[in-house]
Chains A and B, each alone.
Chain A
Amino acid sequence: MAKIWVDDKWYEVGADQSLLEACLELGFDLPYFCWHPALGSVGACRQCAVKQYRDEKDTRGRLVMSCMTPASEGARISIKDADAASFRAGVVEGLMQNHPHDCPVCDEGGECHLQDMTVMTGHNYRQTTYPKRTFRNQNLGPLINHEMNRCIQCYRCVRYYREYAGGRDLDAFASRNQVFFGRHQEGTLQNEFAGNLVEICPTGVFTDKTLKKHYTRKWDLQMAPSVCVHCGLGCNTTAAERYGSLRRILNRYNGHVNGYFLCDRGRFGYEFVRGEQRIKQTLARQDGKLKPLPKAKAIEQLGRVLPGNQKVIGIGSPRASLEANFALRTLVGPERFFSGMSDQGSHLVSLMEEILRQGPARTPSLSEIEISDAVLVLGEDVTNVAPRIALALRQSVRQQPMEFTDKLKIPRWLDHAVREAIQDVKGPLFIAAPSATRLDDAATATYRAAPDDLARLGFAIAHALDPQAPDVPDLAAGARSLAEQIAAALKSAKRPLVISGPSSSSAAVIEAAANVARGLAKAGQAVGLAFTMPEANSLGANLMGGGDLSAAFKAVEEGRADTVIILENDLYLKAPAAAVDRFLDAARHVIAIDYLSTPTVAKSELALPAGAFAESDGTLVSSEGRAQRFFQAYIPKDDIQQSWRWLIEMMRAAGRSEAESWSTLDDVIAALAQGISALAKITEAAPSAKFRKLGEKIARAPNRYSGRTSMLANINVSEPKPPDDPDSALAFSMEGYQEHPPPSLTPFFWAPGWNSIQSLNKFQSEIKGPLRGGDPGVRLIEPPETANGSFFSSVPKPFAARPEEWLLVPLYHIFGSEELSRQAPAVAELAPKPYLAVNSEDAAHLQVQAGDQIEVNLAGTAHRLPVAIHPDLPKGIAGFPAGVVSLEGTGLLAWSKLSRL
């Protein structure tokens, strides 16, 4: 702690901070542009000038940039000083000279940091009469809009894009007052985290292109805290609605999880909610086709099928909330409930859960991944599977070099001084994956091999760490020395981390990762073990229990069941198409609850439209084991309602007694916490619906929400009462508590004078630290203090390429591999075309060239795919884009013959 004087009053501030951070943390309004909490200080914009005095006798003082000056013990500054204030106003005036007169048509308007800072400094009239400088814009792809005239040259975009996110294709061009930020030529921004430019840019140069298509100002959006559903990491988001449709997704800061940034899949994948594939009406099969049926009739139909029916089974879903899964489980009974994961997926997720629960290591949060100082990624392409981890790993490689700059006494927030001192030195990051990953440029060493060989490398590392771990016989010399190198790097680290997951479809890879972690833990190191999860609630679904899909198929096959309720799940993505067909045909009644019109829905007898994430309340368990609540941003139209509400109606139709006592989300959560001990803590994930602040519910809409008395006036001039929300402490209105709701219930960040996302500073207990009141979410899984259990010992045999067969491995793509986001038009545009990848040697052997058609025979079905040559793939392996090519259901890691057409 340091004691500083601000305008003749003293304050205690945290040590190792700049004056700017200290002032913002104390709640002062001090304008800034180039500083960003995650990017540190560079002193480029000169906007945060304050006057600093030598001691109490000094009356003249001198202007300093507060972002470049440490908040050292005894520092005396003045923010109000007339010289400093006029200096700051002058800087804004200079920046505004060339700012175009286009706020009314700018998407940033109303949440613009430049607007806020201009108002804060008091500048309001352009006195210069020189012509304004102009630039031509570039088309930067379907996600981001570029309007270069608005730029104020703060350099945040290139600092974020190149230095923080590791992008290469955005840069500053030209010179003096003509600096242009863009690509060397038009084209889609290549970095997977480019969407954050929307929030990084203090003005409207980079804006959300998907929002532009249905533009709404921030003050007009009704918002709710939500959780991203496009991978297992559970990044916190804000879902925003206007006129009954979802308008955009914004990052919602969570100091333990996503911090300031999201990936582009999470930010732009939301448009599936608005898509054509949505089911909005209750559909029933009539004359062989699914046709709309009034909801009441559908309930009647359920009343004929369900009561007294002893042959009902329920298939849950790893992408549905815990509450929806639990309602289904209660409806059908625990022994007739199936988790809805593929056989392989269920097996791997159970294995990972078991490892996390028993030890050897604790699963780190994303913010802990960021500060790891030696990392091994085993069998995962994290950029494409759990993208936000990749951004965290780009920061982790700076940890070891920054110990050197600490010795030089360079504060870590002094960003460019630190980067100059570090140069290109990177800390240890080892990536072992079947093919090249987007993170390879940050890696110390990479290893590309078939899943079995990846596992063998992992086992060898564990053996090198701890001789008690099983040895790997016949390991190639190269792999052996790499294993020793990795073991040495992990051993000498303070916070080593092992990342693995189910993407290689190999239990051995996961076991090998666990062995490495155990080896480190036994040596007394504070090791982290992070697993990626295939879907948003995979871990939650696994904690809920229930058999895998084969067991469900068997139940129908053996006649133990004839009625199937499928919750938010497309079975064709989880099992071979033929098996699913057999299963659905054999069942007498198939009832599907889903928001998308999937092939499974198309085969059902009754399809009930469910609310997507922004239209539902519920809890998801992230891959960290963190249970997080998400809330409805709006009440959906037509027949759409939340899955668990459908299930309560089904329970009522089936004459189940629980239905009477379950009327709100809290009732379901209470029953769930009581019924499943592993999930008992989810009640703490957010306050209950009874929560009130100053006697009020929390407003979902900002104070200046407009159009209340006219948005529905075209339907009826007498405006309706705002809908009630019995399920949460949030209100569908701007009336309610606005200031500082508990973090898990904060629908948006706004503070007086701070309309942009930078208002976040006012919600944190310390800059870059946790939100005031603690970061949202509650961890469900903590390993025991002393890890018990022993090393896994089944080391697989080395991978052997077969003469005329290839091992098919899924290659993941951030855009296209995930089921929901690929329905969003902007994401679909960036998804790869179908391909089958082989390496050059195999291509020569098959006598094919890139683009030639090739036939894959799998389980009796032939798939024709164009060939792509991936020189980095190991020999004997063929890769296909997961999700884009639907070989998925046919069992992963299959061997197939390939034939040239």
Chain B
Amino acid sequence: MLSVIRTLWNVFLHTFQPRETIQYPEEKPNLPPRHKGRIILSRDPDGGERCVACHLCAVACPVDCIALQATEDENGRRYPEFFRINFSRCIFCGYCEEACPTYAIQLTPDFEMGEFNRQNMVYEKEHLLISGEGKYPGYNFWKVAGVKIGGKDKGEAENEAAPVDVHSLMP
């Protein structure tokens, strides 16, 4: 009997507690940055496209909803000619972000992607590419990779020695 009364009293006390339910959509939820929502493509600190079209996100995708084609600029910098995500298939698992060697593809806390027409769920590169670095500031793949691109010669990447003089036999 006593326990029943205690329970009723506890329930009554909840009337004065702050509410947990959020009145979405009038009120927006505060999602952490690591929430897995809409996918974006970010840029490196210099403002260049981070994506190097390595196809790792596409191969990691369990529902195969990423398709892209690699191409190169005249200086050997590789980038996607097109990059397409079919969000009507995406399960927001985040494997693409985990696979990405350049921090280019990132999941964001935005989840408001509802569409009346399913065709509008297909995002191309111009819909995905944002102007900033997203969650991982500071990283620039091209500064680490040992390939030559415009503005960065051989031996100019991080922790690289100057190119070997192949005509030298000196130790």
Please give the distance in Å from B75's CB to the nearest CB on chain A: 12
In the complex, what distance in Å separates the CA atom of A216 from the CA atom of B101?
A: 17
Is B86 a contact partner of A713 (Cβ separation < 8 A)?
A: yes
Residues of B within 8 A of A704 (CB): 59
In the complex, what distance in Å separates the CA atom of A857 from the CA atom of B159?
A: 66
User: Any chain B CB within 8 A of the CB of A174?
Assistant: yes
B122 contact from A147, A150, A182, A714, Cβ within 8 A: A714
* In the complex, residue of chain A having the shortest beta-carbon distance to the beta carbon of B159: A131
User: With A713-B84, A716-B119 as given contacts, are A174 and B169 in contact (CB-CB < 8 Å)?
Assistant: yes
In the complex, what distance in Å separates the CA atom of A173 from the CA atom of B168?
A: 9
Residues of A within 8 A of B147 (CB): 100, 102, 105, 147, 149
User: Any chain A CB within 8 A of the CB of B55?
Assistant: yes
Please give the distance in Å from B59's CB to the nearest CB on chain A: 5
Please give the distance in Å from B67's CB to the nearest CB on chain A: 3
Stretch binding the partner chain, chosen from B7-15, B16-24, B27-35, B138-146: B138-146
Residues of B within 8 A of A707 (CB): 58, 64-68
Residues of A within 8 A of B89 (CB): 709-710
Stretch binding the partner chain, chosen from A28-36, A132-140, A295-303, A365-373: A132-140
* In the complex, residue of chain A having the shortest beta-carbon distance to the beta carbon of B155: A134
User: Any chain A CB within 8 A of the CB of B121?
Assistant: yes
Residues of B within 8 A of A149 (CB): 146-147, 154
* In the complex, residue of chain A having the shortest beta-carbon distance to the beta carbon of B145: A102
A859-897 toward B: CB 8 Å interface, digit per residue (1/0)? 000000000000000000000000000000000000000
B161 contact from A105, A134, A716, Cβ within 8 A: A134
Is A104 a contact partner of B166 (Cβ separation < 8 A)?
A: no
In the complex, what distance in Å separates the CA atom of A101 from the CA atom of B145?
A: 5
**B residues 109-149 with Cβ under 8 Å of A?**
118-119, 121-122, 124, 141, 144-148
In the complex, what distance in Å separates the CA atom of A713 from the CA atom of B65?
A: 9
Is B52 a contact partner of A104 (Cβ separation < 8 A)?
A: yes
Is A131 a contact partner of B160 (Cβ separation < 8 A)?
A: yes
A717 contact from B67, B118, B171, Cβ within 8 A: B118
User: Any chain B CB within 8 A of the CB of A708?
Assistant: yes
**B residues 17-73 with Cβ under 8 Å of A?**
52-56, 58-59, 61, 63-72
* In the complex, residue of chain A having the shortest beta-carbon distance to the beta carbon of B146: A100
User: With A105-B147, A212-B72, A714-B124 as given contacts, are A706 and B58 in contact (CB-CB < 8 Å)?
Assistant: yes
Is B52 a contact partner of A136 (Cβ separation < 8 A)?
A: no
User: Any chain A CB within 8 A of the CB of B108?
Assistant: no
Please give the distance in Å from A210's CB to the nearest CB on chain B: 13
In the complex, what distance in Å separates the CA atom of A243 from the CA atom of B58?
A: 14
Is A102 a contact partner of B84 (Cβ separation < 8 A)?
A: no
Please give the distance in Å from A675's CB to the nearest CB on chain B: 45
Is A175 a contact partner of B67 (Cβ separation < 8 A)?
A: no
Give residues in A with beta carbon < 8 Å to B.
Answer: 100-105, 109-110, 129-137, 147, 149-150, 173-176, 178, 180, 182, 212, 214-217, 219-220, 243, 704-711, 713-714, 716-718
Please give the distance in Å from A670's CB to the nearest CB on chain B: 38
User: Any chain A CB within 8 A of the CB of B4?
Assistant: no
B69-98 toward A: CB 8 Å interface, digit per residue (1/0)? 111100000100000111011000000000
Is A217 a contact partner of B154 (Cβ separation < 8 A)?
A: no
In the complex, what distance in Å separates the CA atom of A291 from the CA atom of B66?
A: 38
A180 contact from B54, B65, B101, B164, Cβ within 8 A: B164
Is B67 a contact partner of A713 (Cβ separation < 8 A)?
A: yes
In the complex, what distance in Å separates the CA atom of A150 from the CA atom of B108?
A: 35
Residues of B within 8 A of A220 (CB): 55, 58-59
Please give the distance in Å from B97's CB to the nearest CB on chain A: 14
Residues of B within 8 Å of A, CB-based: how many?
A: 52
In the complex, what distance in Å separates the CA atom of A706 from the CA atom of B54?
A: 12
Is B146 a contact partner of A706 (Cβ separation < 8 A)?
A: no
Is A710 a contact partner of B145 (Cβ separation < 8 A)?
A: no
Is B145 a contact partner of A100 (Cβ separation < 8 A)?
A: yes
* In the complex, residue of chain B having the shortest beta-carbon distance to the beta carbon of A220: B55
Is A104 a contact partner of B54 (Cβ separation < 8 A)?
A: yes
| B55, B72, B88, B168 — most chain A CB neighbours (10 Å) | B55
In the complex, what distance in Å separates the CA atom of A710 from the CA atom of B118?
A: 13
Residues of B within 8 A of A100 (CB): 145-147, 157
* In the complex, residue of chain B having the shortest beta-carbon distance to the beta carbon of A150: B146
In the complex, what distance in Å separates the CA atom of A196 from the CA atom of B15?
A: 78
Is B56 a contact partner of A104 (Cβ separation < 8 A)?
A: yes
Please give the distance in Å from A178's CB to the nearest CB on chain B: 4
In the complex, what distance in Å separates the CA atom of A227 from the CA atom of B155?
A: 43
In the complex, what distance in Å separates the CA atom of A178 from the CA atom of B161?
A: 11
User: Any chain A CB within 8 A of the CB of B151?
Assistant: no
A135 contact from B68, B121, B141, B163, Cβ within 8 A: B163
In the complex, what distance in Å separates the CA atom of A136 from the CA atom of B68?
A: 30
A-B contact pairs, 11 of them (CB 8 A): A100-B146, A173-B167, A174-B164, A174-B169, A178-B166, A216-B55, A706-B64, A706-B66, A710-B64, A710-B89, A718-B118
User: Any chain A CB within 8 A of the CB of B162?
Assistant: yes
* In the complex, residue of chain A having the shortest beta-carbon distance to the beta carbon of B58: A706
Please give the distance in Å from B95's CB to the nearest CB on chain A: 12
In the complex, what distance in Å separates the CA atom of A100 from the CA atom of B84?
A: 29
Is A706 a contact partner of B85 (Cβ separation < 8 A)?
A: no
Is A134 a contact partner of B58 (Cβ separation < 8 A)?
A: no
User: With A104-B102, A132-B159 as given contacts, are A176 and B171 in contact (CB-CB < 8 Å)?
Assistant: yes
Is A717 a contact partner of B59 (Cβ separation < 8 A)?
A: no
| A132, A133, A149 — most chain B CB neighbours (10 Å) | A149
Residues of A within 8 A of B102 (CB): 104
Shortest Cβ-Cβ A-B pairs, 8 listed = A100-B146, A707-B67, A104-B54, A706-B58, A708-B64, A710-B86, A102-B145, A710-B67
In the complex, what distance in Å separates the CA atom of A592 from the CA atom of B5?
A: 96
Residues of A within 8 A of B154 (CB): 134-137, 149
In the complex, what distance in Å separates the CA atom of A110 from the CA atom of B162?
A: 29
B55 contact from A150, A217, A711, A714, Cβ within 8 A: A217
Residues of A within 8 A of B72 (CB): 212
In the complex, what distance in Å separates the CA atom of A135 from the CA atom of B162?
A: 8
Residues of B within 8 A of A243 (CB): 69
Is A710 a contact partner of B55 (Cβ separation < 8 A)?
A: no
Is A710 a contact partner of B66 (Cβ separation < 8 A)?
A: yes
In the complex, what distance in Å separates the CA atom of A110 from the CA atom of B55?
A: 10
Please give the distance in Å from B145's CB to the nearest CB on chain A: 4
Is A710 a contact partner of B84 (Cβ separation < 8 A)?
A: yes
Residues of B within 8 A of A713 (CB): 65, 67, 84, 86, 122
User: With A709-B65, A710-B89, A714-B84 as given contacts, are A104 and B141 in contact (CB-CB < 8 Å)?
Assistant: yes
A134 contact from B66, B119, B124, B162, Cβ within 8 A: B162
Please give the distance in Å from B153's CB to the nearest CB on chain A: 9
A136 contact from B58, B121, B163, Cβ within 8 A: B163
Residues of A within 8 A of B162 (CB): 134
User: With A103-B101, A109-B54, A717-B122 as given contacts, are A711 and B163 in contact (CB-CB < 8 Å)?
Assistant: no
Is B161 a contact partner of A133 (Cβ separation < 8 A)?
A: yes
Residues of B within 8 A of A217 (CB): 55, 59
Please give the distance in Å from B53's CB to the nearest CB on chain A: 8
User: With A709-B89, A710-B84, A714-B84 as given contacts, are A104 and B101 in contact (CB-CB < 8 Å)?
Assistant: yes
Is A105 a contact partner of B159 (Cβ separation < 8 A)?
A: no
A132 contact from B78, B101, B146, Cβ within 8 A: B146
Residues of A within 8 A of B165 (CB): 174
Please give the distance in Å from B80's CB to the nearest CB on chain A: 11
Please give the distance in Å from A26's CB to the nearest CB on chain B: 31
User: With A129-B159, A135-B166, A175-B171 as given contacts, are A215 and B145 in contact (CB-CB < 8 Å)?
Assistant: no
Residues of B within 8 A of A174 (CB): 164-169
Please give the distance in Å from A546's CB to the nearest CB on chain B: 45
Residues of B within 8 A of A706 (CB): 55, 58-59, 61, 64, 66-67
Is B119 a contact partner of A710 (Cβ separation < 8 A)?
A: no
